[in-house]
Amino acid sequence: MAAGSPPRTADEARRQVAAACRIVARYGHEDLTLGHVSVRGPEEHEVYIKAKGKALGEVTADDVMVVRLDDPDGHLAPGAHLETVMHLEAYRARPDVGAAIHTHAMYATALGATSASLEYLSHDAVLFRDGVGLYNKSVGMITTRDDGVAVAEALGVRRALLLQNHGMLAVGEDVRWAVLAALTLERAVRVQVLASSLGGFTPIPDELLDEIHLTKYQPVFLEEYWSSWVRRIPGTEELEP
């Protein structure tokens, strides 16, 4: 099975989380020791997630912990990030989600602090042809199950969510799709910021969104993308299964 696909073993799950942390850090998602990546484990009810204490760019497989989905207090496990519940509720609400990423990426955070929404100005934005959700019930930390459930509801069936004044949440069928969503959302917002300084927007017509999405975001491309990220970022190659 491909390296970025759903993990077959606990060790593979840990390596996927660590590699994904380093990848998103390289592309502008690092913020002190904040932010976290998780994957659904090979065993039912297990989620592997970055533990607190390390920056995304320095995470190793040893910095990944296991949290139980069938434990209502699993997010309170010693060593877990305060916002672990955000991941758990996304998995509980979405059986199709195999990986999740929460960061304070600068451009996504900025967009979430405005009344604007993502415009379809680039092929990057087309990945989110179903829209980007917005969680605006609070601007604080997502630390309780009620908070986590509200975030999952705001995410809906989408690939990504903006948390007002806070950051973003990206999900995917596996770690490859989640990383692609996180990186592509930040790039799409950056393009929008640049476009806004140059003149009025000329969005991609709605009737072309599905066609572009079908061509550009084929599942067969995902392992190619994953392999490229791993080759380019020091420290990730040894994390490959």
pLDDT score, position 7: 93
119-154 residue pLDDT tens: 999 999 999 999 999 999 999 999 999 999 999 999
Structural domains in the chain, sorted by start: 10-232 (3.40.225.10)
Look at residue 189 and tell me whether its pLDDT is greater than 70: yes
Q: Which of 98, 105, 96, 127 is nearest to 213 (CA)?
A: 127
pLDDT score, position 240: 59
pLDDT score, position 238: 62
Look at residue 103 and tell me whether its pLDDT is greater than 90: yes
Q: Predicted confidence band at 1 (pLDDT cuts at 50, 70, 90)?
A: very low
Structure tokens at 28: 């502008």
pLDDT score, position 2: 47
Please compute the mean of the pLDDT values over residues 72-92 and round it to a whole number: 95
3-state DSSP helix/strand/coil percent for the chain, to nearest 5?
45, 15, 40
Look at residue 3 and tell me whether its pLDDT is greater than 80: no
What's this model's pTM, rounded to 2 decimal places? Answer: 0.95
Q: Which of 90, 38, 86 is nearest to 66 (CA)?
A: 38
